[in-house]
Structure 1
Amino acid sequence: MTAMQSQLSLTGDHHPIPRSSLAVAAFSTVVEWYDFTLYLYFATVLSRVFYGGGAQSLLITLGGFAIAYLMRPLGAVFFGHIGDRLGRRHMLLISVALMTAAMLATALLPTRAQIGPAAGWLLLLLRCVMGFSVGGEYTGVVAYLLEGAHPECRGLIASLASAASEVGGLLAVGVSALTVSLMDEPDLASWGWRIPFLFGAALAGSVWIARSTMHESPEFKRQQSEGTVPNEPLGHALRHHRGGIARAFSISALGSITYYVGITYVPAFLTSAGALTEGVALWLSTAAAVVVILVTPFVGILSDRVGRRPVLLALCAGSAILPITLFHLMVSGSHAQALLGACTLAAVAGAVSAVGAVATAEQFPGEGRVTGLALGATMATAIFGGLTPYVAQLLIERTHWNLAPGAMIAVVAVCVLPVFLAMRETAPNARRSRLASS
């Protein structure tokens, strides 16, 4: 890879893809986040249906989420190879097809009451398949959007993937809250829990149909025309993109822990701490998801105007200072205080995800970009996303300190701050402004 090729892949000769393809790519991330957040929002219900109920069953359910999430980096590397060798479009079609099959199979699973402990093992197996398939989703979509958008508005366009993900999260918590609120416990445990998963399978199938109309990324076409498509994307990324992998890991670590501890773990936290009932906690999280959707595009636009680095630094500082206070507010105050705490946490997490989407992808040139994202961003998501709800719950049970989740977020923010301080600016507008003023 020459310096000229690297520069062109970010800011140079560019041919945007049709808006219809960008829209399909951006909003198809709804299905990915619907499924993974559905499992967390429905964790207390699934713990009763598949593991017998009680505090230990909830811990097992969250542990299953963590184990399945560890499959995500493996899937990301696998699908990243496809995306970097055969094209972004092929990658996105195959991953969502596998996701559809896993979601439908989950909806049809027998319960613990029907086949005993084997039900829990089958649920875990399907979660692992889902985790593997999701590995090819978000990184592929973000790379596609970055490569297909005009350089001046990449922050906004890439943030749409994050916003659409929040639509998926909103759907998940809304469907969960509606299902739990409208059904009594026997019907919910018998068959009602299947409704959200059947809806997810239909949603994933519709995404596959929509993606079949997408154009290939212009960046991948450039690589094909110039003969620079890497033969071994994994080796190429490890040889040429080690710094980018480390930076993407740091950005995604902060984004993952703020999202998965600060948003999706909150209903289980509030319910297990006795602060709110299951139904009220889910409706509160619905409001938090709306906040994230509203915040995301504005942060994307801000990152295009002032740069990725200043926005990341400000959010990192907020993530270090606010979470402990906000978790205290949620667990010890009124319903209104709990809502304020949850929505503030959601705003911070949504903002990090918005700028993180474009900032991680811009750490790599086009050649090997999807694999680089797999090794950096997805690995961090597996550790700081999949494991952290389990660790947070475990810490609370062992220490009886309800503020432990907020402390976890703060520690990660402090650890990644030096990386953000040393990071170079990647936003084209901000780079040009600095050159003009120097």
Structure 2
Amino acid sequence: METAIASLHRPISRRSLAVAAFSTIVEWYDFTLYLYFATVLARLFYGDTGEALSFTLGSFALAYLMRPLGAVVFGHVGDRHGRRAMLLWSVALMTAAMLATALLPTAASIGAAAGWLLFLLRCVMGFSVGGEYSGVVAYLLEGAAPGRRGLIASLASAASEVGALLAVGVSALTVALTSEAQLADWGWRIPFLVGALLAGSVWIARSSMEESPEFIRQVAAGTVPDSPWRHSLAHHKLGIFRAFSISALGSITYYVGITYVPAFLTTAGRLSEGDSLWLGTAAAVAVILVTPLTGLLSDRIGRKPVLIGVGIASALLPATLFSWMAGAGPGAALAGALVLACVAGAMSAVGAVATAEQFAGEGRVSGLAIGATGATAIFGGITPWLAQRLIDRTGEASTPGVMIALVALAVLPVFATLRETAPRLRR
């Protein structure tokens, strides 16, 4: 019987792995699209007032807090009913939310209710996205060959940046091909319709995915937990703490070291808004290139040394780079931003597989939801805002880098005490 159960734990098809890895495009397409169209949405849904943009960005930030709740709910689905069901349900909800956004009436038609409806749909989107990261990473880890788990799991991070680039391209094309009046009338709906079609196509692709061999093993062994989140809290406390620590550094290096940098350079007077868009594009390309290389490296030498190396880089480089970029020309600012992007991309790559490997198969998705997604909510969503507030108060350009360094110094002792989880190198 044990031999029969063990035989079920085998790598799944390359097609299913590819569908899972590259379906994260949808999440970051929506994330980037909303921020890119924030000024347009502000006028259409909150009126032409000075506070309209604040309402639009505030809606985004508040909806972001729905991610941990979504992660816990979908984590229960993934651990109780299968990874495949979790990924199908989450993308179905994303498809509905994006389509509804594209069809929303604006404030000119229904008044203040338009803004509330947009906020509600952002909450639905944040809730559904909450299940994406933990579900995809768990599926990739469980379906990949043991010696390629780092590389395969890192592809989810690379695909996310492809989604961001796609959003920039579709948005730029829409703006270029429509007049200002057309954009306000109907043009803004096009990128959201494209997103709905993209999400719908992902649902169709996911419907033919194989179930995770790990979940099949649990069903055959009768070890599927009745209450996954209780199981995780009871049996994976240390894993949750470690996943939180890894994801804390991964989140702050990404959200402060990449997504906040264009705004930082714009407010510092080093780049125009147009140049900042190109810088964001260059940073995305850097992440796409560095993530699979880092994932492969973690397969070769182990998760622990890569985590420690990236942690040391995060402690030493960002504060200096932010100070340097604030006083540098465009070329030097771009170079600094690319270094920060590489550090963040490397952390995302090794963090994906390292967090998932902190848990046994039973309760893995719920453990990831509590640990990794919880850290993202704290060290991701609010840190760009906090960085700007601290700069405004202190005038110190190095502040964002100091924030990253403090988190790195806090988690490095955790990294140093981790056991190696790469299958071929496990002690």
AA aligned to 1:220 is F
- Summarize the alignment of residues 69-218 of structure 1 with structure 2, pairs less than 5 Å apart: 69-180=64-175, 185-218=180-213
1:284 Cα deviation from its structure 2 partner: 1.5
In structure 2, what is the equivalent of residue 250 of structure 1?
245
TM-score normalised per structure 2 = 0.92
In structure 1, what is the equivalent of residue 288 of structure 2?
293
Aligned 8 A contact 2:8 2:213 in 1: no
Partner Cα distance (1:397, 1:20) in 2: 49
Partner Cα distance (1:307, 1:350) in 2: 17
Please give the per-residue CA displacement for 1:289-348, whole angstroms capped at 9, x wherever unaligned. 011001111000100111111111111111122222333344432221222122111111
Unpaired runs of 5+ residues, structure 1, are none
AA aligned to 1:332 is G
Partner Cα distance (1:397, 1:119) in 2: 33
SS of the residue 2:424 aligns to? helix
Unpaired runs of 5+ residues, structure 2, are none
AA aligned to 2:248 is A
Partner Cα distance (1:24, 1:386) in 2: 27
SS of the residue 2:131 aligns to? coil
Segment drifting more, 20-29 vs 42-51: 42-51
1:226 aligned residue (221, 226, 234): 221
CA separation of 1:364/1:412 partners in 2, compared to 1, >3 Å: closer, same or farther? same
Aligned 8 A contact 2:247 2:372 in 1: yes
Partner Cα distance (1:221, 1:289) in 2: 36
CA separation of 1:298/1:53 partners in 2, compared to 1, >3 Å: closer, same or farther? farther
CA separation of 1:345/1:283 partners in 2, compared to 1, >3 Å: closer, same or farther? same
Partner Cα distance (1:425, 1:83) in 2: 26
Aligned 8 A contact 2:249 2:408 in 1: yes
1:282 Cα deviation from its structure 2 partner: 1.1
AA aligned to 2:131 is G
CA separation of 1:269/1:50 partners in 2, compared to 1, >3 Å: closer, same or farther? farther
Aligned 8 A contact 1:174 1:282 in 2: no
AA aligned to 2:152 is I
Aligned 8 A contact 2:8 2:216 in 1: no
1:241 Cα deviation from its structure 2 partner: 0.4
SS of the residue 1:428 aligns to? coil
TM-score normalised per structure 1 = 0.90
Partner Cα distance (1:142, 1:255) in 2: 14
Aligned 8 A contact 1:174 1:286 in 2: no
1:224 Cα deviation from its structure 2 partner: 0.4
Aligned 8 A contact 2:8 2:217 in 1: no
1:195 Cα deviation from its structure 2 partner: 2.8
Partner Cα distance (1:254, 1:365) in 2: 23
In structure 1, what is the equivalent of residue 29 of structure 2?
34
In structure 1, what is the equivalent of residue 364 of structure 2?
369
CA separation of 1:406/1:175 partners in 2, compared to 1, >3 Å: closer, same or farther? farther
AA aligned to 1:205 is G
In structure 1, what is the equivalent of residue 349 of structure 2?
354
Partner Cα distance (1:393, 1:181) in 2: 31
1:229 Cα deviation from its structure 2 partner: 0.3
1:359 Cα deviation from its structure 2 partner: 0.2
Please give the per-residue CA displacement for 1:269-297, whole angstroms capped at 9, x wherever unaligned. 33444433322211211111011001111
Partner Cα distance (2:396, 2:284) in 1: 26
CA separation of 1:315/1:113 partners in 2, compared to 1, >3 Å: closer, same or farther? farther
- RMSD value, Cα: 2.5
Please give the per-residue CA displacement for 1:174-211, whole angstroms capped at 9, x wherever unaligned. 33444456656554444433332222111111100000
AA aligned to 1:231 is D
SS of the residue 2:296 aligns to? helix
Confirm whether residue 407 of structure 1 aligns to residue 402 of structure 2.
yes
SS of the residue 1:429 aligns to? coil
1:114 Cα deviation from its structure 2 partner: 4.8
CA separation of 1:299/1:390 partners in 2, compared to 1, >3 Å: closer, same or farther? same
Aligned 8 A contact 2:20 2:139 in 1: yes
Please give the per-residue CA displacement for 1:234-260, whole angstroms capped at 9, x wherever unaligned. 110110001000000111111111112
